[in-house]
A and B are shown apart, each in its own frame.
Chain A
């Protein structure tokens, strides 16, 4: 799966983002390789779950500030626009039965790919006009999100699943297209934050489901660790 974000925005910034995206694909694999003697996926699933909760909490504050920066109508609680554009954003929404029957590998892969895409888009947010405080919050959030990606990668590695790789030779041609209007750009930002929030809620449920499935082996592993501790 390739983060083919063919958004018609002008400038070299998209080239930089393409570069960053390629780097991001490979980066989380590194800490996973260093994991030898893993106690099993249980503790790292719990850690990933905790991270989604932490990020969701962080996002609440960040989104509020960012939407105020975008100004009305984006910061109005009743704002309910139709979903137009933002086609490249990974959507958390899924059929109930399909979600329930996802196998572990697919569940993890969907989460990993989603956050990779979202992180890419988040880094591309136009922060020129934003206050320094907001830029700092965004940067901090990106770092935390990077941590979540690493955590998911760790779980996948522990379970023996391969990390999704970008398709070879399918790099998008970042041709600078006509500039997005200011309003449409803000709409994209709005949907990005909305999708991020929804994904974090979904991930909490995804990782809780994984945790429940892994429970018996995880319990045995933690007992083993406790014996050593005392």
Chain B
């Protein structure tokens, strides 16, 4: 007798396939995002599953040991940064996650560090901030600026995300500015504020294009030129003064020169033949503070090229290099009886000896003229 098995079988099979298909292709619920504090303990329930349901937990696809489970809940103690990840719980023998948690381990924000500076006086100033320690999770910052009771707009910097700009509308104000910042993330909140006068935050950018060059025929001079920083909008009405410092590389002691105007200066007391490092800083003539030091310029004063003896063979002396390490001490080129008697050494600065020898020669000449 033929049992109507095929029909029932087909029906069950079709139903089963439909259920499996539905389970496989149903849209998965988006993982629940959760933020937890570093060092704390957290218990993750497996969605709406009963406490005694048989589940397995996986993190980023890797099975987790069952000893971390409390029933169907996952218990994590002493959270570390490495605990961040996608946690999913599955019914035993199922590969379809019942519940997913995207866990982020981080910290609440500490008090932010805020500072403001005007390098574009009188156009405006900018404020920048940062957190003294990382939070490892996203933070949002909110900056507000007040001038007395008037709210000012702090425009976000197009390039830097922790900076905003405020434009001066009024100059020479006796009322202080107050800039406040609040930072918050999923784990906490913090804030700080600073108050200042218009004049105290003025600090230009360092001078640009500092160039130092030797001066021909002057072994003790170096000519330094620079430009006012391009960010300073109005050097005519708001002139800058400059501070120059220089030293030979071999010494630690800087020499300083303050210059009230002009963008050039000639150093006249350089040690001959020594490489110098030179830097310039700028400041508004009347208000604010000095800029940082500029990028350093290096230069060595002019030294005379070595004179070649005429008895030298016809060896092609095409390279007349003026690198100072190759230049022999200039004192040896002239056979000056006066110099020999005064015991001139190669390390002695030639320029100091010359007046002495000239003076002696002059004295000898006048003495001899008297004798006649």
Binding site for B on A (CB under 8 A): 53, 56, 78, 80, 82-83, 91-96, 99-100, 191, 194-195, 198-199, 201-202, 204-205, 208-209, 212
Contact = CB atoms under 8 A, between A and B. Distances in A.
Max chain A Cβ within 10 angstroms of own Cβ: one of B174, B176, B239: B174
30 contacts: A53-B286, A56-B286, A78-B195, A80-B195, A82-B148, A83-B174, A83-B175, A91-B174, A92-B174, A93-B171, A94-B171, A94-B172, A95-B171, A96-B122, A96-B168, A99-B171, A191-B174, A198-B172, A198-B173, A198-B174, A199-B172, A201-B287, A202-B172, A205-B172, A205-B237, A205-B238, A205-B286, A208-B237, A208-B239, A208-B285
Nearest to A78: B195
Interface string B118-148: 0000100000000000000000000000001
The 4 lowest CB-CB distance pairs between A and B, nearest first, are A92-B172, A202-B172, A204-B286, A93-B173
A205 B185 CA distance: 45
A194 B172 contact: no
A83 B173 CA distance: 11
A93 B285 contact: no
Interface in B214-240: 236-239
Interface residues of B, number: 22
B174 A93 contact: yes
B194 to A, nearest CB: 10
Contacts of B285: 204, 208
Given A78-B195, A80-B176, A82-B149, A212 B170 contact: no
A25 B60 CA distance: 85
A92 B170 CA distance: 10
Contacts of A92: 172-174
A194 B198 CA distance: 12
Contacts of A80: 176, 178, 195
Contacts of B238: 205, 208
B169 interface: yes
Given A53-B286, A80-B195, A205-B238, A96 B176 contact: no
A204 B256 CA distance: 25
Contact of B174 (A78, A194, A205, A212): A194
For A95, A96, A99, A194, the residue with the greatest tally of chain B CB atoms inside 10 Å of its CB is A96
Interface core residue of B149, B238, B285, B286 (most chain A CB under 10 Å): B286
A93 B170 contact: yes
Contacts of A99: 171-172
A73 B40 CA distance: 45
A77 B24 CA distance: 69
Interface of B: 122, 148-149, 168-176, 178, 195, 199, 236-239, 285-287
A209 B171 CA distance: 15
A83 B149 CA distance: 10
A81 to B, nearest CB: 10
Contacts of B239: 208
A96 B149 contact: no
A56 B199 CA distance: 13
A115 to B, nearest CB: 14
Contacts of A93: 170-175
B170 A95 contact: yes
B286 A201 contact: yes
Contacts of A198: 172-174
Nearest to B239: A208
A86 B286 CA distance: 26
A3 B221 CA distance: 58
Contact of B237 (A53, A56, A78, A100): A100
Nearest to B175: A83
Contacts of B195: 78, 80
B148 A96 contact: no
A77 B175 CA distance: 13
Contacts of B199: 201
Contacts of B176: 80
A110 to B, nearest CB: 11
B286 A212 contact: no
Nearest to A211: B239
A199 B286 CA distance: 12
Contacts of B168: 96
Contact of A83 (B148, B172, B178, B236): B148
A106 B285 CA distance: 23
B91 to A, nearest CB: 63
A96 B171 contact: yes
Contacts of B287: 201
B359 to A, nearest CB: 29
A99 B174 CA distance: 16
A66 B256 CA distance: 35
Contacts of B149: 82
B178 to A, nearest CB: 7
Contacts of B237: 100, 205, 208-209, 212
A82 B174 CA distance: 10
Nearest to B194: A78
B175 A96 contact: no
B169 to A, nearest CB: 7
A212 B171 contact: no
Contacts of A82: 148-149
Given A93-B172, A198-B172, 8 more contacts: A82-B148, A93-B171, A95-B169, A95-B170, A199-B172, A202-B171, A205-B172, A205-B237
